[in-house]
Copies of this chain bind each other. A is one copy, B any other.
Amino acid sequence: MLKTRLDLDRIRTARGVIDPVFLNTPLFRCEALGRALGCAVDIKLETANPVRSFKARGTELVASRLADQGRAAVVCASAGNLGSALAWSGRRRGLDVTVVASRRAPAAKLDRIRALGATLELVDGDFEAARKRAAGIAQQRGIRLVEDSLDIETCEGAATIGVELARRASSFDVVLIALGGGAMATGVGHVLKALAPGVEVICVQPQGAPAMTRSWHQRRVVTTDSTDTIADGVAGRFPIPAVLDDLLLVADDAVLVQEASIVAGMRMLLEHAGLVVEPSAALGVAAVLEDPARFAGRRVVTIVCGSNVNLDDYHRWVGP
């Protein structure tokens, strides 16, 4: 038995609560991408849904629980995707949703949060500043604060991806997971270690936002003073101790990749798979690009976790 905070039965039960539009997402071999990378690559596509990221798997659980409890309001800090997802899940259940985000977050993400009817509050500073402000709002108004990766629903929601992968585990050797706060990595990792322990679980983070990866290697929380990456969705500085504890139990490795590899990964996903993705979603491909020998001839799954990106940023990075 894995001693993480997650529980396989609760994860399976969660699948009955999440709107099916977010479940059973495509998992398919992309031969063109595999040829270019020198390994077999399966894409787990988490962008073909109303919020264009995997985050609603978790917010569906949060919002459903709040509605059951008769609660009326909820607040979260977000780099963007959690906010959109919570806005979507909350609107469906009549919840008053407040999202706090950094003024520097991509306009595409901020626009979608507003369009979904949430109250959006912008703060100066980065995601960590938004976290503080959201906590203040929660305390002041006496409403639920959703903390990504700390709150178990966010991890168990992401873990439902793992359930879908585990069903097909005989067809791959490695799963590459974008690492930010750690909800997806601990969630998917927990399920795979429980149901398919032979699958290698590798977390991937940008060198420009390495706090959780450094923490995993040093087996203690390591923070950073700043972040510098285009992968806005995974750019945290303060790893959460409980999440790190879980990650230490379920991840086989955590690697850092350069910005140039993230951009190259985005370009390859466009050229070989026809997918426009946000930088965080290209971390897996970037990891293969940086260490081809490690993956040569192996069967790799990469989770394409979001596609919310400003198109002009995208074109500037990836080219026409």
Mask, A5-16, CB within 8 Å of B = 1, is 000000000000
A213 at the interface (CB under 8 A from B): no
A274 at the interface (CB under 8 A from B): yes
A315 to B315, CA, bound (A): 11
A262 to B141, CA, bound (A): 49
A26 to B48, CA, bound (A): 6
A28 touches B49 (CB 8 A): yes
A271 at the interface (CB under 8 A from B): yes
Name the contact of A32 in the complex, choosing from B31, B47, B115 (C-beta under 8 A).
Answer: B115
B31 touches A274 (CB 8 A): no
B residues in contact with A320, CB < 8 Å: 315, 320
Mask, A247-280, CB within 8 Å of B = 1, is 0000000000000000000000011001111000
Within 8 A of B (CB), among A138-167: none
A107 at the interface (CB under 8 A from B): no
A50 at the interface (CB under 8 A from B): yes
Mask, A32-51, CB within 8 Å of B = 1, is 10010000000101011110
B50 touches A30 (CB 8 A): yes
Q: Across the interface, name the chain B residue whose C-beta is closest to A267.
A: B311
Tell whether A48 pairs with B50 under 8 Å between CB atoms, given A271-B311, A276-B270. no
Q: Across the interface, name the chain B residue whose C-beta is closest to A35.
A: B115
A270-B311, A274-B307, A276-B276 are known; give 13 further A-B pairs, CB within 8 A: A21-B28, A21-B29, A25-B26, A26-B48, A28-B48, A28-B49, A28-B50, A30-B50, A31-B115, A31-B116, A270-B276, A274-B309, A320-B320
Interface residues of A (CB under 8 A from B): 21, 24-32, 35, 43, 45, 47-50, 52, 112, 115-116, 270-271, 274-277, 307-309, 311, 315, 320
Q: Closest 10 CB pairs between A and B? A: A26-B48, A274-B307, A320-B320, A274-B276, A315-B320, A45-B48, A28-B49, A21-B28, A29-B50, A28-B50
